[in-house]
Amino acid sequence: MMTRPLQNCAALALLGLFSACQSGFHPAVESGSAGYDAIAVPADQSLPTRYALRRGDVVSVEVFQEPELTQTRITIDNGGNLNLPLIGEIQAAGVSAADLGRTIQQAYGRRYLRDPQVTVVVNESQPYTYSVEGQVALPGVYAHAEGMTLLGAIAQARSPTQVARLDQIVVFRTVEGQRIGGVFDLQAIREGSLPDPVIMPGDVIVVGYSQLRGTYRDILQAAPLIGVFRPF
């Protein structure tokens, strides 16, 4: 039977081995001040100034003096389209209500109506969201609020787990079809030594995993099975 000192040494040797094997974090995103620059946005512009229609939005389409063509309540489908009388599918997601109205107006004017007047009004809009993944207590998609910052966003996910790598918090953002991102140190932000970056709708926050902490936790949990620290 292995004595307690030998068991302790064995556990420390395992931890040393895992520590030596732990690889660094080399994301294809910016870190330090470059990370802040990559996703920089003024706090008063944390929500888009021009609302773009999205899947699931409910709109009304009024065609002046054409009650048979007017739709008082119609939902943008999962493909981002509206299906309208006579003209069929019209791409709606990604454009403003005013732009959609002009597109519908042109479609009716080409074949069916002379000088149509079309008004599109948003009746119900889907909430802005962001997502939190990785080492947090409750990963998922959350409603975005104006002025949301990284600390508040992670708090919504019930904070990082015990094995989270607090200096490897990655924020991904898509801007004009390009995916950008930055790496942030949550502990330094908590202490006030680094600024708390603004989170935008659609951002994806990934909280990194500390391999050494995770290994240490796993060893402690498995101690009764492998005999580490077992009294003799």
Domain with CATH 3.30.1950.10 in the chain: 58-124
Mean pLDDT (the chain, rounded):
79
State yes or no: pLDDT of 62 exceeds 50. Answer: yes
Bridge partners, 164 (sequence order): 209
Strand, helix or coil for residue 32:
helix
Question: Which of the four CATH numbers 3.30.365.10, 3.40.50.2300, 3.40.190.10, 3.30.1950.10 does domain 58-124 have?
Answer: 3.30.1950.10
Using a cut of 0.85, tell me whether the model's pTM lies above it.
Answer: no
User: Exposed/middle/buried for 86, CB within 10 Å: 0-12, 13-18, 19+?
Assistant: exposed
Render pLDDT for 94-127 as a digit per residue (tens, 0 to 9). Answer: 899 999 999 999 999 999 999 999 999 999 998 8
Domain with CATH 3.10.560.10 in the chain: 4-47+128-226
Question: CA dist 167 to 6, 173, 212, Å?
Answer: 34, 19, 14
Specify the fold of 4-47+128-226.
Answer: Outer membrane lipoprotein wza fold like (3.10.560)
- 47 backbone dihedrals φ, ψ, rounded to 5°: -120, 145
Q: Percentage of the chain with pLDDT > 90? A: 52
